[in-house]
Amino acid sequence: MEKTWKPTTAGVLCILAGIADVAFGILIILAAGIARQVFAFTEMGRVIDLIIAISPLWFVLGIVAIVGGIYALRRRVWGLALAGSICALSGCSLFGILAIIFVAMGKDEFE
């Protein structure tokens, strides 16, 4: 089994996209928390509550993307590496698309 650049590149892209997703999730939670204080008694307050409820999704997707990227770098558990690259689509879609392609192309290198 020859080692190529594909899983390594996919892992790096997944990790970068995952870090961006985690940062975006935290930023949205903080910004929505501040905005909630400003718009507490208006209709906008309900929308902000919905944003606060949904924003942990980016955080979770970012964590899965980071874990999948680590597994892609180690060339272990192809399914988890693929799941991580799919989760990388959420924030940084170009990185996610490329990561999916590279993980799929490098499937033979995984144990």
Return d(Cα 40, Cα 57) in angstroms, integer.
23
Find where tokens 């799929």 sit.
104
How many of the other CB atoms lie within 10 Å of CB of 38? Answer: 10
Find where tokens 């899983």 sit.
7
Does residue 3 carry a pLDDT above 80? yes
Q: Which two tokens stand for residue 92?
A: 């940084």
Mean confidence (pLDDT) of the chain: 88
- pLDDT band at 1; cut points 50, 70, 90: low
Does residue 31 carry a pLDDT above 90? no
CA distances from 16 to 65, 79, 97 (A): 9, 19, 13
- Residue 47, classified by CB atoms within 10 Å of its CB into exposed (0-12), middle (13-18) or buried (19+), is middle
pTM above threshold 0.95? no
Express each pLDDT in 33-81 by its tens digit: 888 777 777 777 777 878 888 888 888 999 999 999 999 999 999 999 9
